[in-house]
């Protein structure tokens, strides 16, 4: 995704000048409740007001303020936070009311639920004291109807004056209508454009006109009072994608459960499964096809790369999400050459928004943008892997023409200069300068810190292309289509070229460079990108060992996961978006590759680091976090503007579980392999709700390390433990 902090020249490099007036708001202490494409962002005490706070729907902010205050007494929040992805609750003590001892007596409870297009809150005042209490409760609400782009950029917005309607408040413009109602109706509704919406520490839309709903509450000892607030959004233009049906959200990780000796892993897995359902969206062209939005709040829409990687990680929970993701992207696969959007025949898109994004003077993206070099090979690989995990042959076969177009793009357009590598360059002048997963302006560099000059050929993209060519060939051969031999030969040539051109050496030995630059020379920064090469077939055994050793070193392994750039490198910053932070999905992909290539000690260390980090984030790993590491910190510091939840960060829990269990599927061949080489620290372990095609199964690893598989009577299961290696076992 695009960088979240840029200098005015668009390079993303650290600026030594005075900070700009417009700063992206921080999120690290925010409470998010989500049901895509809607979400609420609030303070930890539940108050919505200031900075990025608000109730959003489809990249527009419906409410910029929703505060609840008992007037005339100190309001002391004592607890609050998300209960599930869609729900949160908060409790505040109203001090001094009905108190006859140091014990609090009267509390205000807020229980929030977000559904698509709707925010609902119940307000309950409870008097647990021995005498009556009188409470003046004021609900203050405001709206700026701002675009998410405006909020994310830290730009000022103009509040919209409310009007009264049926005992509530309404805000509207040409596209959006927002209504706030209450049951029971308030005694007083005020709509005064001269009244401030309250103090706003960030100096944004909170100072505009606000409306108020007022209640006078009289409670006898032991009594309680409840009201329900309901905010609804009507969007004439409509979000880019539809909300998924509740049944689809519930089915995404249905029955998936994990019980192991490590409660941190269990909690991370359970929390991730809950969050993933809240990020689910549906294709308006066929609402049965669902996919994961990339993350909240900034990327709650379709991102080709993110949605593909997350769906691939989740294949052990079923192929339905993968099928929906593949078809949604296939409908939008490039069919023509359009320099304005970077569309090309066969290319898979980068992102889709309801409106374009004007992120800076130098960075502006159209509503449908194709500026990504890696989504196209990742699409082919997901189709191959979904077939291996049991996607029906009929579904796979219908998508094969799209796979052939994607493979052709790698050769005809991905390799624009004919040197045999996939590379990118922004031809629009206002698109993403870097178009791999590390797409901030300062992400790709030499070891001394000098930045790359385009065109750039990333190391991991060559691995994705190799894996896509091999997987695509397997699909073509299995379904009797021509071209399999040609793509296998193409992959072999790519492997040979990569070995000749990408490998460099420093004092610690050989390693693959992050990329080739415009002069076709290696950009020799030591980065986490090399972890994506493992298990793709691009490396031989010796090369895999060298990469595994480098990943396991303290410069990259922070103890909480992989740093994106090795500590000590030129430009390294532990809070740099792609130059020193830790991204959970990045580490999980390395764990998967390490396990597939037999480097279990390094995989186990990195997996344990992610579990360790997840505990500090209460099971909801963010998009990224600081790379300071366990040598300095007992817990990881947040990256303040990170999305949380994020699809591929949440899906990483399933990817790590797959690596721990050593799961390898071959549904077309009727086989499943289970080799839990990483499970020592987690056993006994019991994983339920896994799927091979339509068949549900469970894996149990006992204390001695022996795996047992149930639920696959018609599948040849190889379950290899320390005393049963290679012995087939199936119930």
* Statement: residue 202 has pLDDT above 90: no
Contact assessment for residue 439 and residue 3, using Cβ atoms and an 8 Å cutoff: yes
Average pLDDT value for residue range 480-496: 98
Contact 177, 188 (CB under 8 A): no
Peptide bond into 645 cis (omega under 30): yes
Given pLDDT bands bounded at 50, 70 and 90, which one contains residue 193?
Answer: low
- pTM score of the predicted model: 0.93
- According to DSSP, the residues that pair with 665 across neighbouring strands are 672
Percentage above 70 pLDDT, the chain: 94
> 69 pLDDT exceeds 70?
yes
Asked whether residue 1 carries a pLDDT value surpassing 50, the answer given is no
- Look at residue 614 and give its three-state secondary structure: helix
Output the pLDDT for position 201.
Answer: 37
Reported in sequence order, the residue ranges of 450-492 that DSSP labels E, i.e. its strands, are 457-458
**Contact residues for 247 (Cβ-Cβ < 8 A; gap 6+):** none
Peptide bond into 132 cis (omega under 30): no
Identify the pLDDT of residue 256.
96
Average pLDDT (176-183) is 97
Angle between the 459-478 and 375-388 helix axes, to the nearest 10 degrees?
40
What pLDDT shows up at residue 722? 60
Calculate the alpha carbon distances from 731 to 21, 254, 655, 685, 697 in Å.
64, 22, 25, 18, 10
What is the β-pairing status of strands 133-142 and 65-70? antiparallel
Report the chain's terminal Cα–Cα distance, integer Å: 44
Per-residue pLDDT averaged across 712-717, rounded?
94
Domain boundaries, the chain: 31-35+38-235, 242-661, 671-719
pLDDT at 3 over 70: no
E strand residue ranges, 397-464: 457-458
Closest CA to 309 of 397, 436, 426: 436
pLDDT digits (tens, 9 = 90+) for 298-313: 999 999 999 999 999 9
Two structure tokens written together for 711: 């639920």
Edge to edge, the sheet with strand 75-82 lists 75-82, 87-94, 106-115, 118-127, 224-235, 176-183, 168-172, 163-165
* Cα 468 from Cα 650, distance rounded (Å): 24
Q: Is the pLDDT of residue 725 over 90?
A: no
Inter-residue contact 690 to 665 (CB < 8 Å)? no
689 pLDDT more than 60: yes
**What pLDDT band is residue 179 in, cutting at 50, 70 and 90?**
very high
pLDDT > 80? residue 160: yes
Q: What is the mean pLDDT of residues 473-488?
A: 98
Average pLDDT over every residue of 471-484 = 98
For the chain, give the mean pLDDT.
93
- pLDDT over 80 (residue 253): yes
Domain 31-35+38-235, what fold?
Beta-galactosidase; Chain A, domain 5 (2.70.98)
- Tell me what pLDDT residue 207 has: 54
Helices 263-278 and 647-661, interaxial angle, to 10°? 140
Instruction: Return the pLDDT at 9.
Output: 31
pLDDT band for position 166 (cuts 50, 70, 90): confident
Asked if the model's pLDDT at residue 487 lies above 80, the reply is: yes
With a cut of 50, say whether residue 11 has pLDDT above it.
Answer: no
Cα distance between residue 482 and residue 493, in whole Å: 19
**Degrees, nearest 5: CA angle 398-399-405:** 130
Q: Is the pLDDT of residue 4 over 90?
A: no
Q: Tell me, what's the pLDDT at 19?
A: 47
d(CA 674, CA 689): 15
| pLDDT of 430 higher than 60 | yes
Q: At 239, is the pLDDT very low, low, confident or very high (cuts 50, 70, 90)?
A: confident
pLDDT > 90: percent of the chain: 88
- The pLDDT value given to residue 5: 36
Question: Does pLDDT of 338 surpass 60?
Answer: yes
Confidence of residue 236 (pLDDT cuts 50, 70, 90): confident
Note the pLDDT tens digit of each residue in 361-403.
788 899 999 999 999 999 999 999 999 999 999 999 999 999 9
Is a pLDDT exceeding 70 seen at residue 163? yes
- How is residue 354 written in tokens? 């309801």
Distance (Å, rounded) from C-alpha 570 to C-alpha 579?
9
Which candidate, 36, 522, 457, 102, places its Cα nearest to that of 245?
36
Mean pLDDT of 474-489: 98
Per-residue pLDDT, 642: 97
Angle at 300 between CA 292 and CA 120, to 5 degrees: 105
pLDDT of residue 357: 82
Q: Is the pLDDT of residue 205 over 70?
A: no
Query: What is the enclosing helix (H) or strand (E) of 102?
Result: none
> Going by CATH, does the domain composed of 242-661 fall within 1.50.10.10?
yes
């Amino acid at each position: 995704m695009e960088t979240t902090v840029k200098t005015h020249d668009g390079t993303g490099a650290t600026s030594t000048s005075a900070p700009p007036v417009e700063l992206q708001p921080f999120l690290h202490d925010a409470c998010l409740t989500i049901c895509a494409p809607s979400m609420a962002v609030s303070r930890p005490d539940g108050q919505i007001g200031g900075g990025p706070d608000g109730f959003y729907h489809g990249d527009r902010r419906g409410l910029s303020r929703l505060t609840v205050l008992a007037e005339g007494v100190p309001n002391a929040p004592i607890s609050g936070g998300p209960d599930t992805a869609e729900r949160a609750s908060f409790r505040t003590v109203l001090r001094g009311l009905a108190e006859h001892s140091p014990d609090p007596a009267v509390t205000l409870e807020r229980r929030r639920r977000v559904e698509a297009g709707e925010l609902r809150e119940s307000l309950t005042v409870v008097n647990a004291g021995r005498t009556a209490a009188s409470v003046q409760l004021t609900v203050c609400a405001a709206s700026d109807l701002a675009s998410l782009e405006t909020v994310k950029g830290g730009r000022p917005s103009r509040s919209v004056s409310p009007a009264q309607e049926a005992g509530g408040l309404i805000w509207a413009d040409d596209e959006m209508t927002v209504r706030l109602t209450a049951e029971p109706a308030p005694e007083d509704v005020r709509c005064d454009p001269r009244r401030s919406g309250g103090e706003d520490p960030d100096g944004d839309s909170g100072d505009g006109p606000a409306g108020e709903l007022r209640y006078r509450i009289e409670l006898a000892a032991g009594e309680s009072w409840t009201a329900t607030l309901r905010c609804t959004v009507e969007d004439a233009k409509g979000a880019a994608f539809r909300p998924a049906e509740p049944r689809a959200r519930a089915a995404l990780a249905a029955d998936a459960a994990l019980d192991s000796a490590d409660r941190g892993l269990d909690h991370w897995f359970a929390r991730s499964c809950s969050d993933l359902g809240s990020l689910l969206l549906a294709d308006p062209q066929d609402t049965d096809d669902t996919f994961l939005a990339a993350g909240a709040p900034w990327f709650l829409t379709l991102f080709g790369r993110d949605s593909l990687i997350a769906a691939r990680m989740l294949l052990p929970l079923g192929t339905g999400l993968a099928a929906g993701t593949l078809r949604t992207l296939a409908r939008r696969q490039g069919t023509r050459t359009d320099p304005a959007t970077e569309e090309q025949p066969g290319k898979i898109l980068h992102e889709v928004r309801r409106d374009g994004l004007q992120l800076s003077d130098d960075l502006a993206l159209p509503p449908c943008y194709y500026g990504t070099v890696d989504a196209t090979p990742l699409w082919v690989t997901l189709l191959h892997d979904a077939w291996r995990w049991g996607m029906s042959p009929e579904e796979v076969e219908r998508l094969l023409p799209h796979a052939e177009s994607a493979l052709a793009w790698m050769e005809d357009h991905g390799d624009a200069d004919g040197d045999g590598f996939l590379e990118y360059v922004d031809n629009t002048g206002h698109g993403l300068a870097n178009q791999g997963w590390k797409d901030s302006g300062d992400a790709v560099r030499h070891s001394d810190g000098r930045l790359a000059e385009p065109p750039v050929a990333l190391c991991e993209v060559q691995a994705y292309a190799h894996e896509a060519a091999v997987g695509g060939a397997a699909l073509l051969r299995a379904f009797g289509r021509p071209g399999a031999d040609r793509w296998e030969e193409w992959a072999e040539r790519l492997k040979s070229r990569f070995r000749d051109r990408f490998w460099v050496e420093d004092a610690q030995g050989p390693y693959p460079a992050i990329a080739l630059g415009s002069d076709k020379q290696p950009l020799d920064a030591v980065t986490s990108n090399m972890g994506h090469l493992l298990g793709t077939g691009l490396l031989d055994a010796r090369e895999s060992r060298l990469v595994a050793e480098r990943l396991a070193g303290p410069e990259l392994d922070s103890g909480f996961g992989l740093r994106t750039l090795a500590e000590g490198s030129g430009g390294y910053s532990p809070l740099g978006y792609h130059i020193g932070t830790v991204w959970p999905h990045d580490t999980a992909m390395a764990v998967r590759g390490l396990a597939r290539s037999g480097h279990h000690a390094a995989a186990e260390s990195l997996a344990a680091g992610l579990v360790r980090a997840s505990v500090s984030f209460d099971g909801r790993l963010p998009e990224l976090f600081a790379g300071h590491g366990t040598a300095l910190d007992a817990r990881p510091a947040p990256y303040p503007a990170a999305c949380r939840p994020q699809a591929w960060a949440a899906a990483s829990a399933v990817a790590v579980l797959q690596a721990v269990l050593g799961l390898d599927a071959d549904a077309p061949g009727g086989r499943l392999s289970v080799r839990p080489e990483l499970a020592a620290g987690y056993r006994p372990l019991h994983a339920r709700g896994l799927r091979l095609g339509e068949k549900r199964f469970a894996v149990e690893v006992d204390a001695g390390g022996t795996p047992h598989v149930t639920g696959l009577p018609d599948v040849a299961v190889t379950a290899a433990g320390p005393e049963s290696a290679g012995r087939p076992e199936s119930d």
